[in-house]
Structure 1
């Protein structure tokens, strides 16, 4: 009997195992997981509710969601995309709902629903699961099969191996693949918050401003969305998106870089000036702190007034041209210094992994080692938040597992 090994019991691993068994019903399919339980990351996805995909309604170019791997996924989505994933889960008993932000969750709002679906489907097909199996090396044999060596479990021989072990925080963790000739893109963190040491800024913790535009000066990296101010700095979707887009750049900067906040999400300064002059005309005798433009909260507005070097008690009619320009600059281009990063809870994502140049873009099979396939975050594919990373896992797992022996 042919034997297919799935190395890694996460989202991509289970989808690959299910697809492999359905495509090759007479083959033995086994998932090998190094931890004591499977699908742990699925369990914490979406704060424990499992944001398993996205409607993609607001995505006009996959590059917007996938800073790395967009071209490959555009090709693979022809075989299995977000609509197919939505249909697959509903057909397997997981009723789904799409939120206003286009994120897709199970109606149960419980990730265990998704975990149960995957484990029950795999079990029903006859997929075996073995935990506490950590892969150490893969060796191609002269007869075309592959030998996998597991820590504390010795070696086993397989007709096909699909590696779905997720992102590796260090390149050394992928050395066994590099030794086979695969190009490895150096892993660096993605999806993290920004540490800002300015006390006045962090005193606004708990405040959400939506939407804002964030950018890194002198680069093309920018993002939009809600900004959450925390006791350590910046968080929220806008921050996490920017960290994903600029993952390699800020790593090279050792996480010390400037970030500009456009509090109004308005790039046309003349429109902002028109709004400010309109406020002056209507409220000349009122104090700056009593009239808030763009529905900014009192805390944010007073902070920005003082950041512009003005006093909340100053009257609007007392603003000269220089003060108006300084206020507009603060509202639209407020630059802060980032001094370090924080991880995003347990949903840690890495940029990097097995280079897409080392795999067949149609099958996800290694170009260097026949019979060896890859899926999930093991590949140099990663995304912004919103269900896009799990969608990449479903898609690549499905494609890698659907190849016939």
Structure 2
């Protein structure tokens, strides 16, 4: 059985792990570093993020507004973001030859439009700094003696500093529990809503700005909404799924979703517009769509209240009341969820009260550091989860390198 000692070992070959390793190597000399990864490949989430383009970060350049995108971690990340956040991320990649671009919705990608650009950068820098990348090494146990000891099936590794960036791995969470950490149980975050209402799913592909509410859970959201073949998606739904992750889990993903297709327009404002149209139009309701709604959606709503072939002038007050209700408060029974694309994000992990966010060090164990999704931190979609990884990795590297100089 081999035994190899390092100054720092990082469990988890993802975004936070590589960022911590590379920055630590750049800030120290003669500091041996290894990344231990259970899979055959590293940086798999980086590879699939943003449809293979890697959504590196988001164009939000102030710490407080940036922190508001984290349903869990908002308060804890505010301080770290004052040390390393979006602008620092952009500069970091730029200094290493990678330009990022901002898209209309604020998401930021490499100009190459390829996640391979980020992967190649990390791999080449790791090689340059002689960081050992130990793939297919599944850590079976962790022990704290004079040094940290990591046991795999074939090897034992030891180190002064242990950095855990293994994501939402139940096995690693259990190891953290044995090291006296509290684990907040995982529930899914960032998912889409399913419905069996075939009339609405036949409108798949329609996208518009809308307001969505789940009255029974007191959840609400606003933004682009997308009708899909299985139900509802888009930023409005994804934000709601993140902020309401635990409430939605408790409800077993069975609830009523109320949609205001007119976004912020109220029932009364809508009704007044409909009364005005009744006075000034002789056309059929189904042939004269209002409020800039997509034609297919307008016809669906008109059919829902049986007004498609009725002339505006013949509509009663009750007809228009019903139409206004369906336009501003259509209700759909949701019965399940689906993972958003390949992005599987969970709410849960190491309790944030047990971490010192000045260094991302454990309050329970000396020389143990935690970053990324192993912590009970998650964000809405848009590059925010990666920004958390970059910030945590950078601060850990600074903490270890500073400590080393103080010896």
Scaled by the length of structure 2, the TM-score of the pair is 0.93
Of stretches 239-248 and 58-67 in structure 1, the one that deviates more from structure 2 is 58-67
* Equivalence for 1:164: 165
Is 1:184 equivalent to 2:188 in the alignment?
Answer: no
Kept in 2, the 8 Å contact 1:17–1:127? The answer is yes
Residue 61 (structure 1) shift: 3.5
- In the alignment, which of 343, 357, 371 is matched to residue 347 of structure 1? 343
Asked whether the equivalents of residues 63 and 82 of structure 2 are also in contact (C-alpha less than 8 Å), the reply is no
CA distance in 1, matches of 2:284, 2:63: 42
What are the equivalent positions in structure 2 for 1:325-364 lying under 5 Å apart?
A: 325-364=321-360
Residues 16-53 of structure 1: CA deviation (Å, up to 9, x unaligned): 10122123322101111111111111011100111110
Distance 2:104 2:126 in 1: 32
1:357: how far off? 0.9
Q: What is the distance in 2 between the residues matched to 1:13 and 1:108?
A: 23
* Per-residue deviation, 1:336: 0.8
- Alignment-derived partner of residue 41 in structure 1: 45
Aligned partners of 1:392, 1:317: CA distance in 2, in Å? 57
- Are 1:266 and 1:272, in contact at CA under 8 Å, matched by a contact in 2? no
1:86-136 deviation per Cα after TM superposition (whole angstroms, max 9, x unaligned): 111111111111011111111111111111111112221221111011122
Aligned 8 A contact 2:67 2:78 in 1: no
Match of 1:9 among 8, 13, 32: 13
SS of residue paired to 1:42? helix
CA separation of 1:67 and 1:147: change in aligned 2, threshold 3 A: same
| Counterpart residue number, 1:217 | 215
CA distance in 2, matches of 1:96, 1:353: 31
Partner of 1:137: 141
Aligned partner of residue 393 in structure 1, secondary structure:
helix
Question: Could you tell me which of 105, 109, 119 is aligned with 1:105?
Answer: 109
Please give the alpha-carbon distance, in whole angstroms, between the structure 2 residues aligned to 1:201 and 1:393: 38
Q: Displacement of 1:63 after TM fit?
A: 5.5
Name the SS for the 2:41 alignment partner: coil
Distance 1:314 1:275 in 2: 17
Assess, with a 3 A threshold, how the Cα gap between structure 1 residues 65 and 149 changes in structure 2: closer, same or farther.
same
Note if contact 1:167-1:378 (Cα within 8 Å) is conserved in structure 2: yes
State the partner residue of 1:238.
236
1:278 to 271, 276, 279: 276
* Cα pair distance change 1:36/1:395, threshold 3 Å: same
Q: Label 1:217 to 1:126 Cα distance change in 2 as closer, same or farther (>3 A).
A: same
2:6, 2:158 within 8 Å by CA — same for their partners in 1? no
Which sections of structure 2, spanning at least 5 residues, go unmatched?
none
Aligned to 1:231, what secondary structure does the other structure show?
Answer: coil
Counterpart selection for 1:149 from 137, 148, 151: 151
Instruction: For 1:176 and 1:60, locate their aligned partners in 2 and report how far apart those are by CA, in whole Å.
Output: 33
Q: CA RMSD in A?
A: 1.7
Instruction: Report the number of matched residues.
Output: 397
> What's 1:369 paired with?
365
Question: TM-score if structure 1 supplies the norm length?
Answer: 0.94
